[in-house]
């Protein structure tokens, strides 16, 4: 009996060692796009999605969970800085830059869960229904001198709490061209284009891409 207990204790200790060393956890991968100067770390539980170059203007990359389904991730770049990031409240920005775009494509039940203004941008969490499912979105918007980046993480609403760390790993490691070295905002450069409408376009494209990935995951044959 004592030998059996010793064996149990040994394997329990060995399992704890593997967990603490990261052997049993999903490894991290590095994404880098030198053209746009974007890089971030993401879990190996994701795989990159091959999309035609002209499928979504401004698309930098798209990720989906291994085997299809949720969560999905996509990153877009659009021209123009978003000056409101340094002046308006997070809730006001969320309504103007995120919720209104969801409603424009027919997702009228979208609701704001939270909005937080960070040193480097804005993070918004929303919930909405699509295709008979309750979905949740985490959207991070980063504004640079002459462009802005939109990171969107889409998941089933009931699974988001257990997957939110996957979003944090990406958003907290996200670096981009024109990023302030002190983590704050750089002074916006003048632009002739209406940044407000460009931001709406960016979120609309993000949403459409998310729906495309969702449709593909539902129709893909299961092995």
pLDDT in tens, 66-112: 988 899 999 999 888 887 777 788 999 999 889 998 999 899 999 99
What are the tens digits of pLDDT across the range 159-189? 999 999 999 999 999 999 876 543 333 333 4
- Provide the residue ranges of all domains of the chain, joining segments of one domain with +: 27-219
What are the tens digits of pLDDT across the range 109-155? 999 999 998 766 899 999 999 989 999 999 999 988 888 899 999 99
Rg (CA), the chain: 20
Q: Give the integer Cα–Cα distance in Å for 22 and 41.
A: 16
Question: Which value, to the nearest 10 degrees, does the dihedral of the CA atoms of residues 85, 91, 93, 94 take?
Answer: 120
Q: 34 with 52: CB under 8 angstroms?
A: no
Q: Give the integer Cα–Cα distance in Å for 97 and 83.
A: 12
Q: Give the integer Cα–Cα distance in Å for 62 and 70.
A: 12
Q: Which numeric CATH code is attached to 27-219?
A: 3.40.1000.10
What is the pLDDT, as a whole number, of residue 112? 97
Q: Give the integer Cα–Cα distance in Å for 190 and 196.
A: 14
**The overall pTM is greater than 0.75:** no
Q: Give the integer Cα–Cα distance in Å for 69 and 202.
A: 23
Average pLDDT over the chain reads 76
Residue 177 structure tokens? 């061209």
Residue labelled with tokens 């893909």 = 220
What are the tens digits of pLDDT across the range 184-210? 333 334 333 444 445 555 555 555 556
């Amino acid at each position: 009996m004592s030998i059996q207990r010793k064996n149990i204790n040994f394997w329990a200790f060995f399992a704890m060692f593997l967990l603490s060393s990261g052997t049993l956890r999903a490894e991290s991968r590095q994404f880098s796009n030198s053209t746009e100067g974007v890089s971030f770390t993401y879990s190996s539980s994701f795989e990159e999605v091959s999309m035609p170059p002209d499928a979504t203007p401004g698309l930098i990359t798209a990720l989906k969970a291994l085997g299809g389904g949720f969560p999905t991730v996509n990153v877009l770049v659009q021209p123009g800085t978003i000056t409101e990031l340094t002046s308006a409240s997070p809730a006001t920005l969320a309504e103007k830059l995120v919720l209104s775009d969801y409603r424009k494509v027919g997702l009228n039940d979208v609701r704001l869960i939270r909005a937080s203004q960070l040193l480097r941008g804005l993070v918004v969490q929303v919930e909405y229904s699509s295709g008979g499912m309750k979905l949740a979105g985490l959207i991070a918007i980063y504004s640079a001198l002459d462009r802005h980046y939109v990171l969107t993480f889409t998941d089933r609403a009931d699974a988001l709490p257990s997957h939110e760390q996957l979003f944090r790993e990406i958003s907290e490691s996200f670096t981009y061209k024109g990023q302030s070295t002190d983590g704050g905002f750089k002074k916006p450069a003048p632009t002739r284009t209406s940044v407000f409408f460009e931001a709406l376009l960016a979120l609309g494209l993000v949403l459409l891409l998310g729906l495309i990935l969702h449709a593909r995951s539902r129709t893909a044959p299961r092995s």
